[in-house]
Chains A and B, each alone.
Chain A
Amino acid sequence: MKGTLSLATAEVNRVRRNKRYLIFTVALPVMLYLIFAKQAATVYGVPFKAFYMVGMASFGAFAGAFNNNMIRISQERKDGWIRQLRLTPLPANAYVVAKILASMATTVPSIVVVLLLGRFYGGVTMPIWKWIAIAVAIWLGTLIFAALAVALGYMLRPDSVQPVAMLVYFFFTIFGGLWFPLSGGLRKFGEITPTYRIIAISTDVLANGTISMANVAVILIWLVGFVAFAVLAVRATAEAV
């Protein structure tokens, strides 16, 4: 475990040095929030500035867990770094475990910075436990995307990984209603996505302090599905790594 943790620490340090990462996962959601948050509307039973805070925090955190990991895993598989690690005494799953741990650490700033912005720029107020519940819901939601990043990163070559990352990510952010609230048929469709359910949990907590089990169930189904997908992808490529 010690080796896996030091690998995870090294991964975090790499991400910290990466300016692109900070721009896409922190600076971009902050900028969008500053531009669009101050609207008078009420959506999903909460003020727009509160909805948009949750949306932008999720947008940044999921981009960090998904795009960043998927592209790196694919590249590192091609370069042979994963192979090199398998020649060390590190356990076979150390690479994937370290990636997910590092992802859990590096998505924290996106969430914390945007929530702080919502509080002090947007003027969103609520009891402390609600802040924590929302932050934790989004944070655990990043696991779904980290798992999908592992699966697709192992399966796809670096030259095809970028467009797939964009497509998948736009699908989940648009139909999850991270950019703008969904209504009508679009909302009905969006309900199948884990992203919509994470927003729903957050806005429910904000509006009336409840967490719907249906939302939790949908999120868990996606998580289990993507984890299984990741395990299969890693196993299927074990001989070709």
Chain B
Amino acid sequence: MSHSGTGPVVSFENVSKNYGSLKAVDRLSLDLRPGQTVALLGPNGAGKSTSLDMLLALRKPTSGKIRMFGSDPYHAVKSGRVGAMLQSGGLMPEVTVRELVTLVAGFHPRPVPPETTMKRAGIADIADQRVDRLSGGQTQRVRFALAIAGDCELIVLDEPTTAMDVETRQLFWANMKAEVAEGKTLLFATHYLEEADQAADRILVINRGRLLADGTPAEIKEKAGAKRMSFRLNQVDEPFLLGLPGLVNLEVRNDLVQIQTTDSDDTLYALLDAGYRPRELEVGSLGLEQAFIAITAEDDRAGEPATPADPVPAGFRQQENRETI
């Protein structure tokens, strides 16, 4: 089924949430269109969970306005048009998986048959096990099943693949894509750049409560300088290195050169064409933390004086994010 109207599924208008003096969410504005798969990407403490909590009527914004399907969040949730899975969501103990999925499906105006839901969530084989005796990954899948137990138009997931092993993650996203193919809108929070890259067609980068970037994965990676390279050179010519194509950031320590680049291929070819023969060459994905530094720095240059950029740790060795999803 698909969203009938043409208006945004979700809209945040200048939404802020303060806990005392801490600005968990700071003047956040965004629109989600029907059928989009959107990743809310940010490090821990960026304001992702608070934003989703407010969207799902669990918390009230300090200021600003949130609309879902043109109504306030509480009534949108109670209309059964949203399915959600939060990190902090728990399960009722002392019942079997099947009993729980059946119970929650019964709360929905348009329930999905529990057997279908369990198949989609990959828990058909544990249907008769007790909920309080499952592993972390199994529990996570049951929570996902509860999010899709009703036929909803918007699915909201907060770090859905935490506690899942690699195989389960792949299965999870395969199932998720099948759901979205039916025209549903998906909003998920993650701190894995790769996960956002593979699953989303739009990424919202959020840090310290503020929206820093909004675009397709390709645009975001370009903005962040998505690759890191490191190599050793006998004679380092810094002005030349600074002129390399795609270069976003350069660090040199003795003969060790570390580069962030939007296009590692171009950067490398230019280096080789100039006659250099780099040793111990390594190319990897940029750690998310460094991606944020790049994006935050750009954000500051664009004239947002409010937040100082994170200090770059002296002589940092970039954290590699090689996790497979």
Contact = CB atoms under 8 A, between A and B. Distances in A.
A123 B82 CA distance: 59
Interface string B130-166: 0000000000000100110010000000000000000
A80 B86 contact: yes
A89 B109 contact: yes
Interface stretch (B39-47, B92-100, B241-249, B270-278): B92-100
B92 A76 contact: yes
A46 B95 CA distance: 45
B57 interface: yes
A3 interface: yes
Contacts of A86: 56-58, 77
Contacts of B235: none
Nearest to A88: B107
Contacts of B58: 83, 86-87, 239, 241
B95 A89 contact: no
A89 B90 CA distance: 16
Nearest to B110: A89
Nearest to B83: A87
B134 to A, nearest CB: 13
Interface string B82-123: 111010111111110001000110111100000000000000
Contacts of A209: none
15 contacts: A6-B103, A10-B95, A10-B103, A14-B93, A18-B94, A76-B92, A78-B90, A79-B90, A80-B90, A84-B90, A86-B77, A89-B78, A89-B108, A239-B58, A241-B58
Nearest to A239: B59
A90 interface: yes
A76 B88 CA distance: 12
Nearest to A80: B90
Contacts of A79: 90-91, 93
Nearest to B150: A89
Contacts of B84: 87
A17 interface: yes
Given A17-B94, A80-B88, A87 B56 contact: yes
B170 interface: no
B183 interface: no
A3 B103 CA distance: 8
A210 interface: no
Interface residues of A, number: 26
Interface of A: 2-3, 6-7, 10, 13-14, 17-18, 76, 78-84, 86-92, 239, 241
Given A83-B89, A89-B150, 8 more contacts: A3-B107, A13-B95, A79-B90, A81-B89, A86-B77, A87-B56, A89-B109, A92-B74
Nearest to B146: A84
Given A76-B90, A87-B84, A3 B106 contact: yes
B250 to A, nearest CB: 46
B79 interface: yes
Given A89-B109, A239-B59, A10 B92 contact: yes
A92 B74 CA distance: 9
B143 to A, nearest CB: 8
Contact of A80 (B74, B89, B103): B89
B80 interface: yes
A78 B82 CA distance: 24
B169 interface: no
B60 interface: yes
A84 B94 CA distance: 16
Contacts of A76: 90, 92
A7 B109 CA distance: 15
A89 B89 contact: no
B86 A81 contact: no
A240 to B, nearest CB: 9
Given A83-B58, A89-B77, A89-B79, A7 B103 contact: yes
Of the listed residues A84, A86, A90, the one surrounded by the most CB atoms of chain B closer than 10 A to its CB is: A84
B109 A14 contact: no
A180 B253 CA distance: 84
Nearest to B84: A87
A92 B56 CA distance: 12
A47 B78 CA distance: 55
- Nearest 6 interchain pairs by C-beta: A80-B90, A79-B90, A84-B89, A89-B80, A81-B90, A3-B107
A91 B89 CA distance: 17
B140 to A, nearest CB: 13
A241 B89 CA distance: 10
Contacts of B83: 87
A143 B92 CA distance: 23
B99 A10 contact: yes
A161 to B, nearest CB: 16
Contacts of A91: 78
B152 to A, nearest CB: 10
Contact of A83 (B82, B86, B92): B86
Nearest to B78: A89
Nearest to A16: B94
B95 A14 contact: yes
